[in-house]
Structure 1
Amino acid sequence: MDLELRHLRILLAIAEAGSLTRAAAALMLSQPAMTTQLRRIEASFGRPLFERSARGVVPTRAGELVISHARSAVTSADRIRSYRLRSADGPEPVTVGGSSGPILSHLTLHLPAALSNPVSFVQFASTGEAMDQVGNRSIDAACLVDLDGFGTTPADGVAVDVIGLEPVVVILPAGHPLAGEGRIDLADLADETWLLPPNDPGCDDYGALVDACAAAGFVPRLSPHRIGDLSILCDLVAQGVGLTLAQGSARAREGVAMRRLTGDPLLGRHLLALHRESPLFGARPLLLGLVRDAFEARCVTSG
């Protein structure tokens, strides 16, 4: 196997975390995938690079040497990428995508003034579509939202940062008996019908709802409708067709109430996905700062 930069990043993540589990979480990989990658890397060297124990992992002597060179190589590569790629006509244009919401609108207002690159923005209907577009370099970066524990694994070459967690709220008719409560126990909604968005390969809304309801002691009854537009969903909720879910930062509509669930059993993850080969990768700290500013200013945090 030919070593690539991503393999060196895996070694550095393991060495820094001292644990395959923590390193996998930092790189947004499953532990089996991380273990398989490490096994292949070690096989390419013909010797173990880490010693395993109940407390975690530590580099072997060979591992320390490899990690030292890997750190130098990754640092050099990051410096190279920090230089903005320029075409004959000036800075290379970049495209940022995402779903509707406060973070994408914040970037639309503030990112063009912070970069010399021409910036365009595109909105996607689903997290999976946006993640795929970043993965195949059709766009450079995307602001995404999935559900904690029910997202998708990013493609090779895509760096994903978790910006923050936001509680998912339930939307119910304004006249619902529980609409006046500060928080609602999910178990008290066992007899309701649920409206969900269309299937999204980047975020398993159905699996997340079923899992949360199972913990509350019931199986949710689902409407046959699959609608992604929150305005339409709120209209249906107001008319008594069913209940739905939304991020806490969603704007309330007339005729409905938005309430947090007791214990926040469902959490949305706000993510920034950025391709490592994009000219934007050198501006990653800038992007993260803008996205975090938007999240902290306009999103409801868990707690």
Structure 2
Amino acid sequence: MDLELRHFRILLAIAEAGSLTKAAAALMLSQPAMTTQLRRIEASFGQPLFERSVRGVAPTRAGELVISHARDAVTSADRIRSYRLRPTADLEPVTVGGCSGPLMGHLTLHLPAALSNPVSFVQFVSTGELLGRVGDGTIDAGCLVDLDGFGAAPAEDVLVDVIGLEPVAVILPAGHPLAGKERIALASLAEETWLLPPNDPGCDDYGALADACGTAGFTPRISPHRIGDLSILCDLVAQGIGLTLAQGSARAREGVVMRRLAGDPLLGRHLLALHRASPLIGARPLLLDLARDAFAARCAKRD
């Protein structure tokens, strides 16, 4: 595992709190997520960084050394972030667009404080429309989600960074015979009807599902409904109209359950798109840092 700034913050929070529970609360993570993250960090070093006892946790000798360097890294990063970046001399207003996913919400909270430029945010329903608006320069940056291997190619002048990959989950009625399984083989859903969102030129949802189902040995039966609102989709699933797909860390609604597919045959890509001529191009490292923080927090909640 490649260590990132968020991992250093976790180590510092644990060292300061002397408790995984208190550190988890300080970082707004669940204790299981905190424990999982610490286990992965320690595995990357090949040795324990904290000693556990009934009184809490304390750094090992190796942990003290790592924490010392982590503190320097975090202090330097915070000092850099404290500078208000000026992509243009005349403080040109900038606009950031977003679709579903965690990235836009995180940028909405943190980007205005890091930029001198006035920032506005616009939500889009269609990934294709958002990507097109970044391409023609009417939106300076965009946060979007597509399906790995089935997203649209960006315009030549648009830089697209993959922030992370997230397994796609299936949403079933709570009373479905397979609802009790932790993972569900896609082949076991061959007789089901699938509810998909409206056609989106930025992401071929049908093509992705058909490809995964074809590999599993069947052709999916698709409902004529085309609905993008997850709440409405969950209502239809709960009533037995069909099944649907969602990002793996989405929140399940009443009457339905979300389950990972065995082998994760479908992956969502969380992306940051930026036009080369955008006034935000100088702030690209900051945007990527904030987007990765948002994705990491989402994954921690899922774990």
Give the structure-2-normalised TM-score: 0.70
Distance of aligned partners of 1:249 and 1:186 in 2 relative to their CA distance in 1, 3 Å threshold? same
1:299 alignment partner, SS class = helix
Structure 2 SS opposite 1:111: helix
**Alignment map for 1:148-297 (pairs within 5 Å):** 148-297=148-297
**CA drift at 1:282:** 0.2
Partner of 1:111: 111
SS in 2 for 1:175: coil
Question: Per the alignment, do residues 167 and 95 of structure 1 end up closer, same or farther by CA in structure 2, a change over 3 Å counting?
Answer: same
Matched residues in 2 for 1:146 and 1:276: separation? 21
Aligned to 1:135: 135
CA distance in 2, matches of 1:286, 1:278: 14
Distance, in Å, in 2 between the alignment partners of 1:281 and 1:180 is: 47
The aligned amino acid for 2:235 is: D
Tell me if the contact between 2:86 and 2:116 (Cα under 8 Å) persists in the aligned partners: no
1:249–1:300 Cα contact (<8 Å) kept: no
- In the TM superposition, what whole-angstrom CA distance separates every residue of 1:61-111 from its partner, at most 9, and x where no partner exists? xxxxxxxxxxxxxxxxxxxxx972233xxx010000011332111111111
CA–CA separation in structure 1 for the residues paired with 2:292 and 2:238: 33
The CA RMSD over aligned residues, in Å, is 1.6
In structure 2, the residue corresponding to 1:112 is in which secondary structure?
helix
How far apart, CA to CA, are the structure 2 residues paired with 1:301 and 1:152? 29
Question: Paired residue for 2:147?
Answer: 147
Instruction: Give yes or no for the alignment of 1:85 onto 2:97.
Output: no
SS state of the match for residue 223, structure 1?
Answer: strand
- Residue identity in the other structure for 2:276: R
Give the % identical residues: 78
Q: What does residue 69 of structure 1 align with?
A: none
Unaligned 5+ runs, structure 2: 1-84
Paired with 2:252 and 2:244, the residues of 1 have a C-alpha distance of: 13
Q: Structure 1 residue 301: deviation in Å? A: 10
Tell me the amino acid that sits aligned with residue 86 of structure 1.
A
AA of the residue aligned to 2:172: L
Match of 2:35 in 1: none
Structure 2 equivalent of residue 65 of structure 1: none
C-alpha distance in structure 1 between counterparts of 2:242 and 2:283, whole Å: 44
- Segments of structure 1 that go 5 or more residues without pairing to the other structure are 1-81
